[in-house]
Amino acid sequence: MKIGFIGLGNMGAPMAANLTKAGHEVVGFDMADVSVEGVTMAASGAEAAKDADVVITMLPNGQILRAVADEIIPVMKKGAAFVDCSTVDVDSARAVAEKAAAAGLLPVDAPVSGGVGGATAGTLTFMAGGSDEAFAKAAPLFEIMGQKAVHCGEAGAGQAAKICNNMILGVTMIATCEAFALADKLGLDRQKMFDVVSTSSGYSWSMNAYCPAPGVGPQSPADNDYQPGFAAELMLKDLRLSQQAAESADADTPMGKAATALYEQFVEHEGGQGMDFSAMLPRFEKRGRD
C-alpha cells in the first residue's frame, strides 16, 4: 500500500519504520525536522496524504487532529482510509470521522496501548472505532505495527475504550501506591505485601505487572529510579480526557475525578513531570495524613 504518515514523534517514527520494513511505501510528514529510515519525507501533511491508500496520524491532541484533518481530507482519494492513532477526546474523534465519511473516506479512530517500546517492537494494541469496511482496510497495517487490534464499535469507540481503560489504570495505580505507603507505616514488609496482594482479591495490573515498589515483582520503572515507561504527564492527559468525556456524557466518575486531581497535583506542583506514573509511591511515602 501507499501510506501517508503524519506525526513522526516518539511513537509515530517507529510505527512508520515498521511499515516500511514490511514493504509498504510510506510518505511522512512532521512539523519537526525529522527523518525516519525508509520513509520519504513530504513538505506538508497534504502532500503526504495525496494519493495514499491509507493515511495514519499520530498527533498530540484533538485540536491538532481537527486542523490536520481539515488540511488532508480535501486531498485524499475517495475510498482511502483515514486512521488516527492519537489519543484525543471522543468528540474530536467523532467530528473528524464524520467529516472524513462525508468526503467518501473510511475513518478509523485507533488509539494504542504499549508505549514507545511497543511501537518499536511492533507489539502495540489498537482499540479501533469505525465501520467494518474501514476496520478491514486498516487491519493488515495493525498486524504489522501491533500484536492485537480490537474493533470496539462505531466512530469514537476506540477513543472511548482507551480513555476508560486508562482511567481504571490511573485509579488502580494510586490505590496500589497508597496501599504500599500504608503497609510501610504499619511495618509490613513490601515483599510480603506483594506476595499476599498479587495472589488475592487486590490483584491488579498495577500490582502484578507494573509494581510501583522497587525490587518487588517483575522488573518495572520503579527499578530504574522511576524513569518513565508511561510518564505521569501522559497519565494526566488521559485522565483529563476521561473527565472531559464524562462531562460530555453526563457520567458520574468520582474516582476518575479524584485521580485526575492527584496526578495534576503531582505533575504540576510536586515535581512529577518526567517521572513514571508509578512514582506516586515515593510521593505518598513522604506524606502524612491530611
pLDDT lower than 70: segments of the chain: none
The whole-number pLDDT of residue 237 equals: 96
* Prediction pTM value: 0.91
* Structural fold of domain 2-153: Rossmann fold (3.40.50)
Number of neighbours of residue 274 by Cβ within 10 angstroms: 13
In this structure, is the dihedral angle defined by the CA atoms of residues 155, 159, 162 and 167, taken in order, positive or negative? negative
Measured between alpha carbons, how far is residue 54 from residues 28, 118, 206, 254 in Å? 12, 21, 36, 40
Q: Using N-to-C axis directions, what is the helix angle for 232-249 and 254-269, rounded to 10°? A: 140
Task: Report the run of H or E that residue 49 belongs to, with start and end.
Answer: helix 45-49
In this structure, is the dihedral angle defined by the CA atoms of residues 72, 77, 78 and 80, taken in order, positive or negative? negative
The whole-number pLDDT of residue 290 equals: 79
Alpha carbons 204 and 200: distance in angstroms, whole number: 10
Q: Which amino acid is at 1?
A: M
**What residues does each domain of the chain span?**
2-153, 160-286
Q: What is the CATH number of domain 160-286?
A: 1.10.1040.10
Question: Exactly one of 77, 78, 137, 162 is catalytic; which is it?
Answer: 162
**Is 148 labeled as catalytic in the residue annotation?**
no
The whole-number pLDDT of residue 115 equals: 87
